[in-house]
Amino acid sequence: MPKFSRRAIAAFAAAVATRPATAQTVHGPVRIIVPYNPGGITDILARAVAQQMTAQLGTSVVVENRAGANGSIGATVVARSAPDGTVLLLGVTDTHAVNPAAMRNLAYDANRDFEPISNITNVPLALAVGPSRRELQDLQAFLAAAKAKPGGLTHASWGVGSTSQIAMLRIAEATGIELLHVPYTGAAPAAQALAAGQVDSMVLPAGAAEALARDGTIRILATLSPQRLALLPGTPTLQEQGVPLSISIFQALFAPARTPAPILARLHEAVTQSLKAPAMLEVLRAQAALPSPTTPDGLAALVREDQEAWGRVVRAGNIRLD
Protein backbone atom coordinates (compact mmCIF):
# COMPACT_ATOMS: atom_id res chain seq x y z
CA MET A 1 0.00 0.00 0.00
CA PRO A 2 1.57 3.32 -1.00
CA LYS A 3 2.37 5.84 1.67
CA PHE A 4 1.37 9.49 1.33
CA SER A 5 2.93 12.41 3.10
CA ARG A 6 0.80 14.53 5.38
CA ARG A 7 1.18 17.42 2.89
CA ALA A 8 -0.08 15.27 0.01
CA ILE A 9 -3.08 14.12 2.02
CA ALA A 10 -3.90 17.72 2.94
CA ALA A 11 -3.60 18.82 -0.68
CA PHE A 12 -5.87 15.98 -1.83
CA ALA A 13 -8.45 16.83 0.83
CA ALA A 14 -8.40 20.48 -0.18
CA ALA A 15 -8.85 19.57 -3.83
CA VAL A 16 -11.81 17.32 -3.05
CA ALA A 17 -13.36 19.99 -0.85
CA THR A 18 -13.15 22.61 -3.56
CA ARG A 19 -14.30 20.49 -6.49
CA PRO A 20 -18.02 21.38 -6.20
CA ALA A 21 -17.19 25.09 -6.02
CA THR A 22 -14.76 25.17 -8.92
CA ALA A 23 -17.12 23.05 -11.00
CA GLN A 24 -19.81 25.64 -10.43
CA THR A 25 -20.41 27.52 -13.64
CA VAL A 26 -23.07 29.52 -15.42
CA HIS A 27 -25.87 27.33 -16.71
CA GLY A 28 -27.56 29.44 -19.38
CA PRO A 29 -29.28 30.97 -21.02
CA VAL A 30 -28.03 34.22 -19.49
CA ARG A 31 -30.06 37.43 -19.65
CA ILE A 32 -28.40 40.84 -19.51
CA ILE A 33 -31.04 43.31 -18.34
CA VAL A 34 -30.70 46.73 -19.98
CA PRO A 35 -32.72 49.25 -17.95
CA TYR A 36 -33.40 51.44 -20.99
CA ASN A 37 -35.20 51.25 -24.33
CA PRO A 38 -33.66 49.51 -27.37
CA GLY A 39 -31.41 51.55 -29.63
CA GLY A 40 -29.55 53.67 -27.07
CA ILE A 41 -25.85 53.45 -26.30
CA THR A 42 -26.37 51.16 -23.30
CA ASP A 43 -28.49 48.77 -25.37
CA ILE A 44 -25.99 48.76 -28.25
CA LEU A 45 -23.13 48.05 -25.87
CA ALA A 46 -25.04 45.29 -24.08
CA ARG A 47 -25.83 43.50 -27.34
CA ALA A 48 -22.19 43.58 -28.37
CA VAL A 49 -21.14 42.26 -24.95
CA ALA A 50 -23.80 39.54 -25.08
CA GLN A 51 -22.58 38.33 -28.45
CA GLN A 52 -18.99 38.04 -27.23
CA MET A 53 -19.93 36.49 -23.88
CA THR A 54 -21.96 33.83 -25.68
CA ALA A 55 -18.73 32.64 -27.27
CA GLN A 56 -16.80 32.92 -24.02
CA LEU A 57 -19.33 31.07 -21.84
CA GLY A 58 -20.49 28.54 -24.39
CA THR A 59 -24.11 29.32 -23.59
CA SER A 60 -26.65 31.77 -24.98
CA VAL A 61 -26.42 35.32 -23.63
CA VAL A 62 -29.31 37.59 -24.61
CA VAL A 63 -30.38 41.16 -23.91
CA GLU A 64 -33.70 42.03 -22.31
CA ASN A 65 -34.85 45.66 -22.14
CA ARG A 66 -36.70 46.63 -18.95
CA ALA A 67 -36.94 50.41 -19.20
CA GLY A 68 -38.49 52.97 -16.89
CA ALA A 69 -37.97 55.17 -13.83
CA ASN A 70 -34.44 56.26 -14.77
CA GLY A 71 -33.25 52.68 -14.98
CA SER A 72 -34.58 51.61 -11.60
CA ILE A 73 -37.15 49.15 -12.98
CA GLY A 74 -34.55 47.03 -14.74
CA ALA A 75 -32.13 47.28 -11.82
CA THR A 76 -34.85 46.08 -9.44
CA VAL A 77 -35.50 43.04 -11.65
CA VAL A 78 -31.87 41.99 -11.27
CA ALA A 79 -31.71 42.77 -7.56
CA ARG A 80 -34.63 40.38 -7.00
CA SER A 81 -33.36 37.62 -9.29
CA ALA A 82 -31.86 34.31 -8.21
CA PRO A 83 -28.10 34.62 -7.53
CA ASP A 84 -27.07 31.98 -10.05
CA GLY A 85 -25.40 34.09 -12.75
CA THR A 86 -28.23 33.80 -15.27
CA VAL A 87 -29.62 37.33 -14.79
CA LEU A 88 -27.17 40.24 -14.98
CA LEU A 89 -27.49 44.02 -15.07
CA LEU A 90 -25.85 46.42 -17.48
CA GLY A 91 -25.71 49.08 -14.80
CA VAL A 92 -24.75 52.70 -15.33
CA THR A 93 -24.12 55.88 -13.39
CA ASP A 94 -27.88 56.55 -13.25
CA THR A 95 -28.80 53.21 -11.68
CA HIS A 96 -26.02 53.15 -9.11
CA ALA A 97 -25.09 56.77 -8.36
CA VAL A 98 -27.98 59.07 -9.30
CA ASN A 99 -31.01 57.03 -8.27
CA PRO A 100 -29.84 56.35 -4.69
CA ALA A 101 -29.63 60.11 -4.15
CA ALA A 102 -32.74 61.11 -6.10
CA MET A 103 -35.22 58.40 -5.07
CA ARG A 104 -36.48 58.14 -1.50
CA ASN A 105 -38.36 54.91 -2.23
CA LEU A 106 -35.80 53.14 -4.38
CA ALA A 107 -36.65 49.43 -4.44
CA TYR A 108 -33.01 48.30 -4.35
CA ASP A 109 -29.83 49.14 -2.49
CA ALA A 110 -27.18 49.97 -5.08
CA ASN A 111 -24.36 48.69 -2.87
CA ARG A 112 -25.87 45.73 -1.02
CA ASP A 113 -28.18 44.19 -3.63
CA PHE A 114 -25.56 43.63 -6.35
CA GLU A 115 -22.23 41.92 -6.82
CA PRO A 116 -19.87 43.99 -9.00
CA ILE A 117 -18.35 42.00 -11.85
CA SER A 118 -16.40 44.48 -13.99
CA ASN A 119 -16.63 47.91 -15.48
CA ILE A 120 -16.96 47.78 -19.27
CA THR A 121 -16.31 51.34 -20.37
CA ASN A 122 -16.62 54.97 -19.38
CA VAL A 123 -18.69 56.79 -21.98
CA PRO A 124 -17.30 60.27 -22.70
CA LEU A 125 -19.71 63.17 -22.97
CA ALA A 126 -19.78 66.35 -25.03
CA LEU A 127 -21.44 69.76 -24.76
CA ALA A 128 -23.10 70.88 -27.98
CA VAL A 129 -25.39 73.60 -29.31
CA GLY A 130 -28.02 73.17 -32.00
CA PRO A 131 -29.03 75.29 -35.00
CA SER A 132 -31.14 77.57 -32.80
CA ARG A 133 -27.89 79.06 -31.45
CA ARG A 134 -25.68 78.68 -34.47
CA GLU A 135 -24.00 82.00 -33.67
CA LEU A 136 -22.33 80.54 -30.55
CA GLN A 137 -19.04 79.47 -32.07
CA ASP A 138 -17.22 78.30 -28.94
CA LEU A 139 -17.58 77.60 -25.23
CA GLN A 140 -16.76 81.15 -24.18
CA ALA A 141 -19.50 82.56 -26.40
CA PHE A 142 -21.95 80.02 -24.94
CA LEU A 143 -21.03 80.95 -21.37
CA ALA A 144 -21.22 84.68 -22.14
CA ALA A 145 -24.71 84.29 -23.65
CA ALA A 146 -25.88 82.27 -20.66
CA LYS A 147 -24.54 84.82 -18.19
CA ALA A 148 -26.06 87.74 -20.11
CA LYS A 149 -29.55 86.27 -19.70
CA PRO A 150 -29.83 83.71 -16.89
CA GLY A 151 -32.34 81.04 -17.86
CA GLY A 152 -32.51 82.34 -21.41
CA LEU A 153 -30.75 79.34 -22.96
CA THR A 154 -32.40 75.93 -22.88
CA HIS A 155 -30.76 72.55 -22.48
CA ALA A 156 -32.21 69.15 -23.28
CA SER A 157 -31.70 65.95 -21.34
CA TRP A 158 -33.01 62.40 -21.52
CA GLY A 159 -35.08 62.90 -18.38
CA VAL A 160 -35.34 64.56 -15.00
CA GLY A 161 -32.52 63.28 -12.82
CA SER A 162 -30.65 61.82 -15.79
CA THR A 163 -26.89 62.02 -16.04
CA SER A 164 -27.39 64.36 -19.00
CA GLN A 165 -29.24 66.87 -16.81
CA ILE A 166 -26.87 66.51 -13.88
CA ALA A 167 -23.75 66.81 -16.04
CA MET A 168 -25.08 70.14 -17.32
CA LEU A 169 -25.82 71.18 -13.74
CA ARG A 170 -22.21 70.41 -12.86
CA ILE A 171 -21.05 72.62 -15.74
CA ALA A 172 -23.44 75.37 -14.65
CA GLU A 173 -22.19 75.12 -11.08
CA ALA A 174 -18.55 75.35 -12.19
CA THR A 175 -19.11 78.31 -14.54
CA GLY A 176 -21.80 80.31 -12.73
CA ILE A 177 -24.47 80.03 -15.43
CA GLU A 178 -28.18 79.22 -15.28
CA LEU A 179 -30.01 77.32 -18.03
CA LEU A 180 -33.63 76.25 -18.53
CA HIS A 181 -33.96 72.47 -18.41
CA VAL A 182 -36.16 70.73 -21.02
CA PRO A 183 -36.40 66.99 -20.24
CA TYR A 184 -37.29 64.36 -22.86
CA THR A 185 -38.22 60.71 -22.51
CA GLY A 186 -34.98 59.26 -23.80
CA ALA A 187 -31.64 60.17 -25.32
CA ALA A 188 -32.79 59.84 -28.93
CA PRO A 189 -35.76 62.27 -28.65
CA ALA A 190 -33.57 64.76 -26.79
CA ALA A 191 -30.82 64.63 -29.42
CA GLN A 192 -33.41 64.95 -32.19
CA ALA A 193 -34.83 68.05 -30.51
CA LEU A 194 -31.34 69.55 -30.33
CA ALA A 195 -30.70 68.80 -34.01
CA ALA A 196 -34.08 70.30 -34.96
CA GLY A 197 -33.38 73.54 -33.12
CA GLN A 198 -36.15 72.99 -30.58
CA VAL A 199 -33.65 73.38 -27.72
CA ASP A 200 -30.40 75.30 -27.59
CA SER A 201 -27.90 72.92 -26.00
CA MET A 202 -27.32 69.50 -24.54
CA VAL A 203 -24.77 67.28 -22.86
CA LEU A 204 -24.84 64.00 -24.79
CA PRO A 205 -22.58 61.01 -25.46
CA ALA A 206 -19.59 62.10 -27.51
CA GLY A 207 -20.17 59.42 -30.16
CA ALA A 208 -23.73 60.60 -30.75
CA ALA A 209 -22.56 64.21 -30.82
CA GLU A 210 -19.91 63.41 -33.42
CA ALA A 211 -22.49 61.71 -35.66
CA LEU A 212 -24.76 64.78 -35.54
CA ALA A 213 -21.89 67.22 -36.04
CA ARG A 214 -20.53 65.62 -39.22
CA ASP A 215 -22.89 67.57 -41.47
CA GLY A 216 -22.92 70.67 -39.30
CA THR A 217 -26.34 70.00 -37.75
CA ILE A 218 -24.96 70.70 -34.28
CA ARG A 219 -21.73 72.28 -33.04
CA ILE A 220 -19.67 70.60 -30.35
CA LEU A 221 -18.21 73.17 -27.97
CA ALA A 222 -16.26 70.87 -25.65
CA THR A 223 -15.75 67.30 -24.60
CA LEU A 224 -16.08 66.48 -20.92
CA SER A 225 -13.20 63.98 -21.03
CA PRO A 226 -9.81 64.45 -19.31
CA GLN A 227 -8.00 64.38 -22.68
CA ARG A 228 -9.04 65.02 -26.25
CA LEU A 229 -10.85 62.13 -27.86
CA ALA A 230 -9.51 60.23 -30.87
CA LEU A 231 -12.96 60.52 -32.45
CA LEU A 232 -12.96 64.32 -31.96
CA PRO A 233 -9.30 65.36 -32.09
CA GLY A 234 -10.11 68.97 -32.98
CA THR A 235 -12.51 69.53 -30.09
CA PRO A 236 -10.97 70.92 -26.89
CA THR A 237 -11.92 69.60 -23.47
CA LEU A 238 -13.62 71.65 -20.78
CA GLN A 239 -10.37 71.62 -18.84
CA GLU A 240 -8.44 73.08 -21.77
CA GLN A 241 -10.96 75.93 -21.80
CA GLY A 242 -10.66 76.75 -18.12
CA VAL A 243 -13.49 74.66 -16.66
CA PRO A 244 -12.02 72.19 -14.14
CA LEU A 245 -14.37 69.29 -14.87
CA SER A 246 -14.08 65.79 -16.28
CA ILE A 247 -17.34 63.83 -16.51
CA SER A 248 -18.18 60.43 -17.99
CA ILE A 249 -20.80 57.72 -17.51
CA PHE A 250 -19.72 54.25 -16.45
CA GLN A 251 -21.31 51.17 -18.01
CA ALA A 252 -20.67 48.02 -16.01
CA LEU A 253 -21.83 44.48 -15.35
CA PHE A 254 -23.44 43.45 -12.06
CA ALA A 255 -24.94 40.23 -10.69
CA PRO A 256 -27.47 39.82 -7.88
CA ALA A 257 -26.07 39.83 -4.35
CA ARG A 258 -24.94 36.45 -2.99
CA THR A 259 -23.98 35.09 -6.40
CA PRO A 260 -21.29 32.46 -5.63
CA ALA A 261 -17.68 33.57 -6.05
CA PRO A 262 -16.80 30.90 -8.69
CA ILE A 263 -19.66 32.10 -10.90
CA LEU A 264 -18.61 35.72 -10.46
CA ALA A 265 -15.05 34.79 -11.39
CA ARG A 266 -16.25 33.03 -14.55
CA LEU A 267 -18.40 36.00 -15.54
CA HIS A 268 -15.52 38.39 -14.88
CA GLU A 269 -13.23 36.35 -17.10
CA ALA A 270 -15.87 36.21 -19.84
CA VAL A 271 -16.54 39.95 -19.94
CA THR A 272 -12.89 40.98 -19.75
CA GLN A 273 -12.01 38.60 -22.58
CA SER A 274 -14.98 39.91 -24.56
CA LEU A 275 -13.57 43.43 -24.40
CA LYS A 276 -10.55 42.29 -26.43
CA ALA A 277 -12.62 41.24 -29.47
CA PRO A 278 -12.21 43.46 -32.58
CA ALA A 279 -16.00 43.72 -33.00
CA MET A 280 -16.31 44.92 -29.41
CA LEU A 281 -13.57 47.50 -29.87
CA GLU A 282 -15.36 48.85 -32.95
CA VAL A 283 -18.58 49.35 -30.98
CA LEU A 284 -16.64 51.23 -28.31
CA ARG A 285 -14.82 53.32 -30.90
CA ALA A 286 -18.16 54.52 -32.28
CA GLN A 287 -18.99 55.72 -28.76
CA ALA A 288 -15.60 57.49 -28.52
CA ALA A 289 -14.89 55.07 -25.69
CA LEU A 290 -12.22 52.57 -24.71
CA PRO A 291 -12.47 49.24 -22.90
CA SER A 292 -12.12 49.90 -19.18
CA PRO A 293 -12.28 46.54 -17.37
CA THR A 294 -11.78 46.47 -13.60
CA THR A 295 -11.63 43.99 -10.80
CA PRO A 296 -14.86 43.63 -8.81
CA ASP A 297 -13.31 45.74 -6.05
CA GLY A 298 -12.29 48.32 -8.62
CA LEU A 299 -15.87 48.58 -9.86
CA ALA A 300 -17.16 48.89 -6.30
CA ALA A 301 -14.74 51.77 -5.71
CA LEU A 302 -15.85 53.45 -8.96
CA VAL A 303 -19.48 53.21 -7.86
CA ARG A 304 -18.68 54.80 -4.49
CA GLU A 305 -16.78 57.65 -6.16
CA ASP A 306 -19.67 58.35 -8.52
CA GLN A 307 -22.20 58.17 -5.71
CA GLU A 308 -20.31 60.94 -3.94
CA ALA A 309 -19.76 63.15 -7.01
CA TRP A 310 -23.19 62.81 -8.60
CA GLY A 311 -25.10 62.53 -5.33
CA ARG A 312 -23.77 65.87 -4.14
CA VAL A 313 -25.17 67.65 -7.21
CA VAL A 314 -28.50 65.80 -6.95
CA ARG A 315 -28.91 66.86 -3.34
CA ALA A 316 -27.77 70.43 -3.96
CA GLY A 317 -30.24 70.75 -6.83
CA ASN A 318 -33.02 69.10 -4.79
CA ILE A 319 -33.67 66.69 -7.67
CA ARG A 320 -36.37 64.17 -6.80
CA LEU A 321 -37.54 61.27 -8.95
CA ASP A 322 -40.31 60.02 -6.65
pLDDT in tens, 128-184: 999 999 999 999 999 999 999 999 999 999 999 999 999 999 999 999 999 999 999
Name, in order, each residue with C-beta under 8 angstroms of 191's C-beta and a sequence gap of 6 or more: 156, 202, 204, 208, 212
Name, in order, each residue with C-beta under 8 angstroms of 8's C-beta and a sequence gap of 6 or more: none
C-alpha span between 153 and 237 (Å, rounded): 21
SS3 191: helix
Is CATH 3.40.190.150 the classification given to domain 8-123+248-316? yes
- pLDDT given at position 24: 61
Helices (H), the chain: 6-23, 41-57, 72-79, 93, 99-102, 139-148, 163-175, 187-195, 206-213, 261-274, 278-286, 296-316
Cα Rg of the chain (Å, integer): 22
pLDDT digits (tens, 9 = 90+) for 3-54: 444 444 344 344 434 434 344 678 889 999 999 989 889 999 999 999 999 9
124-241 homologous superfamily: Periplasmic binding protein-like II (3.40.190.10)
Output the pTM of the full model.
0.88
Percent of the chain topping pLDDT 90: 88
SS3 88: strand
C-alpha span between 246 and 237 (Å, rounded): 8
- What is the average pLDDT score of the chain? 93
- Sequence ranges of the domains in the chain: 8-123+248-316, 124-241
C-alpha span between 193 and 180 (Å, rounded): 15
Q: Kindly state the DSSP code that residue 235 receives in the 8-state scheme.
A: S
